Structure 1
Amino acid sequence: MERRLDNSWVTFSAAFRDPEDTVLSSLKLTAPDGSSCDAQGNVEQLAGYQLTSTAVRATPFDTFGEEKPDSACITSPYVVATVDLGSNATVGTPIELRVVETPAVTNLDQLPEAFDGDPSWTDPATGKPTVTQGGTSFDDAPTLVPGSYADSIVQGETLTYQVQVDWGQQLNAQVTLPELDASHRGAAGGTPIANLRVYNPGRGEATSNDLGTGHNSQLAYFGDGRSVLSTVAGPVRVKNVTASSDAVAGAGLDGLYTVVVFVSKQPEGKSIPVPFRLDLGVSGTVEGAPEYADPLAASGAAEPSEEPTAEPSDETRGELSDEPSGSASGSSSSRSDDGGGFPVGGVLGGLAVLAIAAGAGVYLKSRSKA
């Protein structure tokens, strides 16, 4: 991936949704000299059709958290990404690769250090829930404000929601699943797993798995009583990239955070919608914003023309298909029994973004919103 800006920070992510349980063996980002910039390994998809993503970053910090502004990871003209979905992945499973490049941060010495420890839980303010409908991918997730919401989910389905989290703030997300009557428990065909994850704007995971509050981000949903999932992301700081905790390290970007709710599919389970409550809270003071280098001062950056060109040039036209790909924003009027469509070619934020999709599509059966 060639840099367009001098000393830019690069975030590379890989998202996938395999029909079966699978593990992304590794995602690596290296400099041209072979030195490691960042790596993630054994990223687990808990069950079939769960939307799963991970990200690696090239920043001025090495893998031990020490600032190295002259390292090849930040000064080289390009970085190399390596993706290994693993030998147990289903042949043809699509992978969405996404690159976000941002200008160099110029006030690192004035920014707060990485958050020390694990984030603590803060109860979101609750009220009468507003009915909403989650998306099925990063690209079609509705943008919500902090508050309480009502939705429903079927087995094997992934639902997505986004909320803005600024520098210095913390996201608290909670899902409450109800007690089911005997007939609905029987229709479950077993004990599905309920899971709650949070991803940052670069699609790296920022989920805290154990808050010490009597509930966490994953549980077996028996339906014989109320079940609560909760997780925290933040507080968001630039230097969180150096944190040892994955939950804290994932909270190193401001912007739209994606909350992902998933219930696994049981072989004999029926596609019966289960209502749930989603509470979202954003706490903390907005502070610690980075200052960026002027992108037009970067080597090879072109000055904008005074007048727009009538037609795009062959160079800017590229080789993209004329056909749209992925789920359009707001197109979540129907759902699928197996977790919804996989996002292909989606674009979200950043100064320079590249989205690449590989593999085959998945045939989906849709179900209407209950």
Structure 2
Amino acid sequence: MIRRLAALAAVSALTAAFSFANAPAASAEGDLSPVMVVLDSSGSMTARDAGGSGTRMDAAKRAVTSMVAGLPDQAQVGLTIYGAGTGSSGSEKAAGCKDVRVVQPVATVNKPVLTRAVSAAKASGYTPIGHSLRVAAAQLPKEGQRSIVLVSDGEDTCAPPQPCEVAKELHKQGVDLHVHAIGFRVDAKARAQLACIAQNTGGTYHDASDADSLLGVLGRVTERALRHYEPTGKPITGTADPFTAPTMTPGQYLDTLNAEEERFYSAELKTGDTAYFAATAVFPRGNPRDIEVVDLKITGPDGADCYESQRELNTRAKDGGSLTTVLSWNGTVAGSSKPKGCSVPGKYTFRVTRDARGGGADRVPVELQLRVEPPVTGSTGEQTQTSLVTFAQPPAGAVRPVRGGGSFNEATTLDGSGRYGETIYYGEELFYRVKLDWGQGLAYRVTFAGRPDGATTNIRTGLFSPVRAEIKFDTTAYTGTTQILPSSGKPIATPRAVYLNRNANNSDFRKASVDGWYYIIAKLGVASGDAPAGGVPVTIDVAVAGDKVAGPEYGASTGETPSIPTPSASSEPTPSGSTTNEAGGQGGDDKVQPVADESSSSLPWIVGGAVLVLALAIVAAALIIRSRKSSALQPANGPGYGGPGQNGSGYNGPGYNGPAANGPGQNGPGQGWS
């Protein structure tokens, strides 16, 4: 009995260790990037606001006050004002060109203080834009996603320093520092100067022609700046030489890569281990090139070629966002039949290559995630699943407000089955997560509310596994009418998560072979032309089905060479003579294929007992080119849900700029569901 208890304790510890390794990086849900707002209080702001009552300064105060009122309580926001401390006479120029005052440092927002400071500001002086950008940047953290939102009604009157040169200077401090500029009733010369600032920092430029448009644009731009992708991880520096690559243990790391660069990282794998390695490159808005590639390749101990690589392409990298490529390796699992030299325990090396030969940003952050699953030595749990979960009835109940995060690391938790809603802004991609225990599955849909004045763009949603492997996605055009994704009328769904799903013929089922956080992503593309202020309400209907069951009983990894076991009755291997690959399943309805490296081996994938979740995870705000199409979901019990279906708008559509739309949500009543 004592031995049995000790064995059970060891299994529990191993299971906990694997679960911990699969947990997302520690961060507060919906963490927001710090933002410094820079407000023009120069003498020109005393001019009357066309079409409205009061001056431009009055309009700016109303816009900033409204923006502050709408900020989330956890927002990290500061306020800098220039031009309010001197006059605009020639004798005051020297002092006026230094007149930049930090009214509120970047910190957890104090709405009363900010509101009083804005109310007290008086327009009177010069326009030191270049100097104000330096002051604002100095108030922000030195690394991580951070933004400046600049509001000005004219060009710099104090240069040098020239604002565009300052923007280039700021860009050298890191590709994740962005300046978003708003031109309030500006002429062509001032517009060109402000746009130059935005372009050189990967930010955005917007025109505001009157008080109402300024109010909408300022709120939207600030909201968007708060929700950037925030790369996180333990710092690591890959090497150019695979034999000196740093050794990684399970966890998340952060490196940076140049436009054309390859780096090497290594991991010690024992007999029976399955490794999941993901690389997520994060691109700045305004990236110089649309097409970016992230390629992964693995080599075995002593440099043995394992003939396995995976790559993904992002064709809208200019819009910013991210790109993830995932590679799994089960070479030391018994029965894997990997190439000679790649089926033994030892140090394996992962090569990460970024290819942006058209002139991508010099360096971009790259999140590296290593997860190692030990072998199963006891029960494997339930049998391989053969059906997807679905909605039993149309969703019902009140819509719970949520606020999506800007990355996998900051994904906001959706607390099981229910309806969730918020506003998404043009150019945003929002991340949510749902916890699935062993035996549980997930189905969901996303409704983008109709806006008669909505701008034309694309919408997209995707479901990702705990190892960042994309399970399913759908995309279509949004033209201001209500759109539901998936447009097929069936939910994006998983089977119930069980260990033996990795033996399934369908690749989407294989990706649901681990428990943990599953990620839902909703994206509204950059608008085609101008769009009204505000955003598009979205509703996410979620069903979590199935009861928690016992999972696999993990054992300890060893350093021994694996032996080939006799197949057990509990496994469901691919039929004799069949072959499959990790992203394009043999059999089933899913015929998707990965964008594979031409040098990849044509050796068959052996699925008996292997962890087959080699997937192509895309987190980009841009659309992704694939050599696969979104296939129809397997039939599921229960009625589909309605809504106009519309074919996708393609992957190579042009990118657009412009403010987003505002309007009522469509949170209508429905029936109960399970």
Q: Is the 8 A contact 1:50 1:262 kept in 2?
A: no
Whole-angstrom CA distance in 2 between matches of 1:46 and 1:246: 26
Distance 1:259 1:46, change over 3 A: farther
Does 2:498 align with 1:237? yes
Cα distance in 2 for residues equivalent to 1:42 and 1:158: 18
Compare the two structures and name the one with the higher strand fraction.
1
1:29 to 280, 298, 311: 298
Match of 1:96 among 340, 346, 367: 367
CA drift at 1:267: 5.4
2:189 match: none
Q: Specify the alignment match of 1:195 in structure 2.
A: 460
Could you tell me whether the CA contact under 8 Å between 1:179 and 1:225 is conserved in 2? Answer: yes
Higher helix share: 2
Q: Which residue of 1 aligns with 2:471?
A: 206
Counterpart of 1:257 in 2: which secondary structure?
A: strand
**Aligned equivalent of 1:222:** 479
In the TM superposition, what is the alpha-carbon distance from 1:2 to its structure 2 partner?
2.5
In the other structure, the counterpart of 1:356 is: none
Structure-1-length-normalised TM-score: 0.65
Change (3 A) 1:93 1:243: farther
Structure 1: distance between partners of 2:296 and 2:359: 15
User: 1:80 offset after TM fit, Å?
Assistant: 1.9
Partner in structure 1 of residue 537 of structure 2: 275
Q: Which residue of 2 aligns with 1:342?
A: none
* Cα pair 2:272 2:375 within 8 Å, conserved: yes
Distance 1:50 1:127, change over 3 A: farther
Query: 1:110-189, aligned counterparts within 5 Å?
Result: 110-112=380-382, 114-115=384-385, 119=388, 121-122=390-391, 125-146=395-416, 147-181=418-452, 184-185=453-454, 188=455
Distance 1:56 1:151, change over 3 A: same
TM-score (norm 2): 0.38
Q: Check 1:51–1:298 CA distance in 2 against 1; reply closer, same or farther (3 A cut).
A: same
Retained in 2: the 8 A contact 1:241–1:250?
Answer: yes
User: What's 1:261 paired with?
Assistant: 522
Q: CA 1:192–1:96 in structure 2 vs 1: closer, same or farther (change >3 Å)? A: same
Give the whole-Å Cα distance in 1 for the aligned partners of 2:295 and 2:385: 26
How far is 1:45 from its partner? 5.7
Given that residues 206 and 249 in structure 1 are in contact (C-alpha distance below 8 angstroms), is that contact kept between their aligned partners in structure 2?
no
Which runs of 5 or more residues in structure 1 are unaligned? Answer: 210-216, 300-337, 340-366
Distance in 2, Cα, partners of 1:259 & 1:278: 9
**Structure 1 residues 280 and 291, CA, compared in 2 at 3 Å: closer, same or farther?**
same
Q: CA deviation at 1:115?
A: 4.2
Q: Which runs of 5+ in 2 are unaligned?
A: 1-265, 561-619, 622-659, 664-674
Question: How does 1:298-337 map onto structure 2 within 5 Å?
Answer: none
Alignment of 1:86 onto 2:355:
yes
Change (3 A) 1:172 1:218: same
Question: Contact 2:280/2:367 (CA < 8 Å) preserved in 1?
Answer: yes
Q: Does 1:290 align with 2:552?
A: yes
1:195-221 CA distance string (max 9 Å, x none): 1111211112122x4xxxxxxx21111
Give the structure, 1 or 2, with the largest relative contact order (CA under 8 Å, sep 6 or more). Answer: 1
Change (3 A) 1:132 1:145: same
Distance 1:258 1:246 in 2: 17
RMSD between aligned residues = 3.5
* Structure 1 residue matching 2:347: 3-state secondary structure: coil
Residue type matched to 1:22 in 2?
A: I
- Checking the alignment, whether the CA contact within 8 Å between 2:270 and 2:332 is kept in structure 1 is no
Instruction: Report if aligned partners of 1:29, 1:57 keep a CA contact under 8 Å in 2.
Output: no
Return the offset for 1:294.
Answer: 3.8
In the alignment, the residues of structure 1 paired with residue 313 and residue 377 of structure 2 have an alpha-carbon distance, to the nearest angstrom, of: 33
Deviation, structure 1 residue 42? 3.3
Deviates more, 1:239-248 or 1:5-14: 239-248
Conservation of the 8 A alpha-carbon contact between 2:432 and 2:521: yes
